Amino acid sequence: MVGEMVKRILAIVFILIIGLWMAKGLDQVPFGEDRMLVGKYYLEHVTEETGAINAVTAVVVNYRGFDTLGEVTVLFIASTGVAALLWRKKRKRTAKKEGSVVLTTGAKLLLPFVMLFGAYIFIHGHLTPGGGFPGGATIATAFLLLYVAFTVYEIDHKIFEPLEGLAGVGYVTVGLIGLAVGGYFLFDWIWQSWGLGKENIGRLFSAGFIPIIYILIGLKVGTELTGIIDNMVKEPEEGGQ
């Protein structure tokens, strides 16, 4: 019993010695200097260089716009992968029980408001928190609501697929115009070269090409996520392998 007590005391003393030694060593380490030069530059020059009052939006779409294009490409690859994995010659919805009266009625009433809210998120991305990705995801939830409420609902692929392609091509086209005009991809030619919107800073029609890109991203994300939902709620028909 005494031996166990001695071991515990020695362990506590040993831990305290190590703790004091580490604290003394860390006390001698200098904290250094503030190196947030890039962040400060963005905050101080974002409105002057981009016309946006939302610094986060300016960074995402303008300063690191090429990276954002990569993120959209990743989502496109994911959507294509889901379609390839779940592809069959014939697919149809197999849900047999339609939603309750509350669900179906609520879906009809909420659909336009959810889509309007999603559009608001990416159209106002340069003014308020939001952007193309959350706005597009919100629009996709509207179609998910229809799939949950109704057993016979299906999206019109003749509209969604061309719209998805046009949104992606539009994004790249805006970037290529910047390359031709300003010398690098996604150069904001609307703001830097034309100066459009400089008298409307803080209003809807401002911030150069940022609203245009966010609208394109919102449409692309919304159509791609809706396509993923459509592929995942359908099952192959019997004999349609």
- pLDDT of 22-72, one tens digit each? 887 777 766 666 677 888 888 888 888 888 888 888 888 888 888 888 888
Is the confidence at residue 181, as pLDDT, over 70? yes
The predicted structure's pLDDT at residue 95? 63
The pLDDT, as a whole number, for residue 237 is: 61
Q: Residue 224 pLDDT more than 70?
A: yes
Identify the pLDDT of residue 61: 86
In percent, the amount of the chain with pLDDT more than 70 equals 89
What is the residue-averaged pLDDT of the chain?
Answer: 83
Q: What is the pLDDT of residues 150-176, one digit of tens each?
A: 877 777 777 888 888 899 899 989 989
Q: What is the mean pLDDT of residues 207-217?
A: 89
Tell whether the model's pLDDT for residue 96 goes beyond 90.
no
Instruction: Give pairs for 166-172: CB < 8 Å, separation 24+.
Output: 167/216, 167/217, 167/219, 167/220, 167/223, 168/72, 168/76, 168/216, 168/220, 170/212, 170/216, 171/69, 171/72, 171/213, 171/216, 171/217, 171/220, 172/69
Q: Is the pTM of this model over 0.85?
A: no
- What is residue 118's predicted lDDT score, i.e. its pLDDT? 93
pLDDT exceeding 90 applies to what percent of the chain? 17
Q: Evaluate if residue 89 carries a pLDDT over 60.
A: no
Backbone angles phi, psi at 4, to 5 degrees: -65, -40
pLDDT at 138 > cutoff 80: yes
The whole-number pLDDT of residue 32 equals 64
Which comes out higher in pLDDT, residue 74 or 156?
74
> Mean pLDDT over residues 74-79, rounded?
85
229 pLDDT band (50/70/90 cuts)?
Answer: confident
Residue 99 is classified by DSSP as P
Average pLDDT over residues 105-120: 92
With a CB cutoff of 8 Å and minimum separation 6, the contacts of 132 are 122, 125, 213, 214, 215, 216, 217, 218, 220, 221
pLDDT score of 206 more than 60? yes
